[in-house]
Amino acid sequence: MANSVLKKQVLTCLMLMSSSVLAEGIVDFKPYVYTSVTYDDNLFRYASEAEAKANSITNRSDVVKTLGAGLAVNLRLSRQLLSASVNLSENKFDRYSSLDNTGKSMNLAWNWRVGSDLYGVISASESESISSFSDTKDTSRNLKKYTKERVSLNWNFMPSWTIYGTADLSDLQNERVSQQSLDREDKGYEIGLNYSNPLGTQLGVFIREIDSQYPNRNNVLIPIALGGGFFGTLPLSAVYGSEATNMQYGVNLAWLPTHKLRVSSRISLVDFETNVRTRAIATGLPINPFYTVKSRDFTGVNQRWDLSYTLTSKTNVGLTAYDEIAQVDSLQTLSVKNRGIAANLNWSITSKVGFRSGLTFGKRDYQGDAGVDNNDKSMGLNLGLTYLPTSKSLIQLEYQGGKRDANISVNDYQFNSINFLAQYNF
């Protein structure tokens, strides 16, 4: 209900303001078309050829051909900026044609401002795409629909001080019945206070709450031993949970030691709480109507550090390190502890040719897996070369590779993929 109300509000704003834009404002239309070809040597992320054959997959590789088009529109009226974009893509698989799909994305945003000190954004977005095979190992097509609405408010009550607040709602829905236990609804709220000076130094404090629900976990029943020789069934939510609250109390930092170097960080105390309690459906003699599994909560510190350095006028590098707990799409838990580092390089070789690269190392520890130890380590590499034949066209060649080693061997995988993209902007 809240999603539809917010979408209507954004659309109403667009309609009311666009009537005067033609007379007083600036309209910027940016249509584009693109095509791409992607080769992946391990599409379903199997650990080995033997595992693939056990699942009736005789060839792990495939080629995906994509044809897409989009439009971005910006409407400027005085201090107000309204933006809208839409993108459609048709994706065809050479070998596994049952995975063919149409990708969609739509975005609406109103960057509003009242006077010089009060401003914010009201936005709504919706996207639909095929889900990743990295964790599910389900070779059937599953389309994921993701919607998000966001409202923000900022008040510069003094030249260097800003109070802000945000509220966002998001909803994730899976097409396949077997994946609908992963459907999730998030409600996030944040308030904070920021200080900044002319030298670029920033310091802020914030409080953030994220409430998550998995509404379909009560619909999946699993057998359970109740003791005394009696057995019953419990919803999936009774063992792995269906609700979680993520409270964060933290600080934001940014520092520019030189005009070439910028260091920023977000550090917070985290209280992640899950309530695993539900009614059992027993077979046999009457039992206590509630079966409680102790929740596996987490209290600790989230932190993310980012460093960017400009080597030359054409080259910059970045480094990120993180240690965070977050919600996760998994049937066996609600949260995961992520640790890792990432490095990237961007090089403008000429005015028409650019190169970028990235290297990542990460570790995931799943929290509250009902006594099951589940963790993995991964590394990834990407290399990209971009060429601009004209001011309106782009050609890109990109390589991506990755490897994951898990304590549960069936979750291991290694892959290599190459993508070629050509785009024209009208």
Query: Tens digit of pLDDT for each residue in 267-310?
Result: 999 998 876 554 444 444 344 444 444 446 778 999 999 999 99
Cα–Cα nearest to 48, from 33, 34, 60: 60
pLDDT band at 24 (very low <50, low <70, confident <90, very high): low
Q: Which amino acid is residue 308, in one-letter code?
A: S
**pLDDT value for 228:** 63
**Residue 239 and residue 302 in contact, taking contact as beta carbons nearer than 8 Å:** no
- Is the dihedral angle over the CA atoms 10, 16, 17, 18 positive or is it negative? positive
List the single range of 13-27, 70-84, 303-317, 346-360 with lowest mean pLDDT: 13-27
CB 268 within 8 A of CB 249: yes
In the DSSP assignment, the letter for residue 78 is T
The residue-averaged pLDDT of 110-130 equals 97
pLDDT at 155: 98
Rounded CA separation 277/409 (Å): 31
Backbone angles phi, psi at 52, to 5 degrees: -60, -45
Backbone angle region of 78, left / alpha / beta, with phi > 0 → left and psi within -120 to 50 → alpha: left
Which H or E run includes 247?
strand 243-255
What was the pLDDT predicted at 314? 96
Number of H helices, E strands in the chain: 3, 23
pLDDT of res. 229: 63
Helices assigned H by DSSP within 241-343: none
Task: Look at residues 60, 71, 62 and name the one whose alpha carbon lies nearest to residue 37.
Answer: 62
Of residues 178 and 12, which shows the higher confidence score? 178
pLDDT at 336: 85
Q: What is the pTM of this model?
A: 0.83
- Tens of pLDDT, residue by residue over 371-400, are 567 889 999 999 999 999 999 999 999 999
**Least confident span in 181-185, 190-194, 361-365:** 181-185
Is the CB of residue 290 less than 8 Å from the CB of residue 242? no
Q: Which pLDDT score is estimated for 289?
A: 43
Token pair recorded at residue 270: 């985290």
Query: Quick one: average pLDDT of 355-383?
Result: 87
Least confident piece of the model among 127-141, 168-182, 364-378, 394-408: 364-378
Q: What is the pLDDT of residue 254?
A: 97
Instruction: With residue 357 as reference, give the H or E element that holds it.
Output: strand 353-367
pLDDT of residue 361: 98
Q: What is the C-alpha separation between 137 and 372, in angstroms, rounded?
A: 19
56: amino acid identity, one letter? S
Cα(145)–Cα(108) distance, integer angstroms: 17
Nearest residue to 234 (alpha-carbon basis) of 210, 217, 212, 258: 217
CA distances in angstroms from 40 to 205, 214, 357, listed in the order given = 44, 32, 19
Contact 239, 217 (CB under 8 A): no
Largest CA distance in the chain: 79
The reported pLDDT for the residue numbered 217 is: 76
What is the per-residue pLDDT across 233-280, written as a single tens digit (0 to 9) for each? 666 665 566 788 899 999 999 999 999 999 999 999 999 887 655 444
Which pLDDT band, with edges at 50, 70 and 90, does 181 fall under?
confident
d(CA 423, CA 426): 10
Mean pLDDT highest for which of 67-71, 230-234, 283-287? 67-71
CA distance 184 to 334: 10
CA distance 170 to 216: 16
- Label residue 328 by pLDDT band (50, 70, 90): confident
Token pair for 255: 């520092």
Which of 63, 44, 45, 135 is CA-nearest to residue 402? 45
State the chain's mean pLDDT as an integer: 86
Give the model's pLDDT for residue 368: 59
Q: CA geometry: angle at 220 spanning 214 and 224, to 5°?
A: 115
Residue type, position 4, single letter: S
List, for residues 96-110, the tens digit of each pLDDT value.
999 999 999 999 999
Q: What integer pLDDT is reported at residue 327 of this predicted model?
A: 74
CA 123 from chain centre, in angstroms, equals 17
Q: How far is the C-alpha of 110 from the C-alpha of 76, rounded, in Å?
A: 10
Rg, the chain, Cα only: 24
